[in-house]
Amino acid sequence: MAGITNEAVEHYLYDLLPARDEVLSEMEQQARERKIPIVGPAVGRMLFQLARMIGAKTVFEMGSAIGYSTIWWARAVGEGGKVIYTDGDRRNAEEARKYLKRAGVLERVEIRVGDALELLSEEKDAFDVVFNDVDKDDYPRVLRLVNPRVRKGGLFVTDNTLWSGEPAELAAGRTGNVIRMESTRAIVDFNRTLYASEEWFTTLMPLRDGVSVALRL
């Protein structure tokens, strides 16, 4: 991702990755050809690792697209675990269902079609992990919803928090991409608020497009 890491470093990181299985490889190809936003294999591995590190069994995923990250989460929670998939596009959900079935994790995933923020607001229980990958303009709203919906010791993980380097450009006084300015400002607000919160301990990882990992205190 331009503006995040040195190009040679980026290639090195991805060249190190082991080959993915048939299902994930096909999804990666589809994402490239159809410009489907997915987290990609480097971030996918990190999601799996984070879930395993805290023994996560429940994950609420906000913005699941064709289910690429869903598979990583579902494999991490293992048998008896549960991942809630959300997406506003029913066609995405149907495509995801097929991939999840082929990956052997469909029984661990509950597929919900609708607005991810509304679906999260309806939840009464706290999850081990909430993963945020919705429209960037909505990131500040997600932050206002998420606190009671992650257990203490659980994780709130957010993708695209470096947003092609545009928050850094804005912080340096440069305009950046005017078309995406509203989203950039939303991410800047989100990052500042999350880091300042006494309820979360946050680290922003400069991997791919930036991934924030916040521990619920």
- pLDDT for 179 equals 79
Query: Is residue 199 domain-resident?
Result: yes
Strands 211-216 vs 150-159: parallel, antiparallel or unpaired: antiparallel
Token couple for 79: 């048998």
- pLDDT for 176 equals 74
Containing structural domain, residue 151: 7-216
| CATH number assigned to the domain comprising residue 21 | 3.40.50.150
Angle between helices 90-102 and 22-34 (to 10 degrees): 150
Residue 89, classed as helix, strand or coil, is coil
Query: Is residue 43 domain-resident?
Result: yes
Q: How many C-beta neighbours within 10 Å does residue 199 have? A: 15
Total structural domains in the chain? 1
Query: Is residue 2 domain-resident?
Result: no
Query: Is residue 111 domain-resident?
Result: yes
Torsion angle of C-alpha atoms 80, 96, 123, 156, degrees rounded to 10: 80
DSSP 9-46: HHHHHHHTSPPP-HHHHHHHHHHHHHT----HHHHHHH
Q: What is the mean pLDDT of each run of 10 residues along the chain (217 residues)?
A: 79 96 98 96 98 98 98 98 98 98 98 98 97 98 97 98 93 82 96 98 97 98
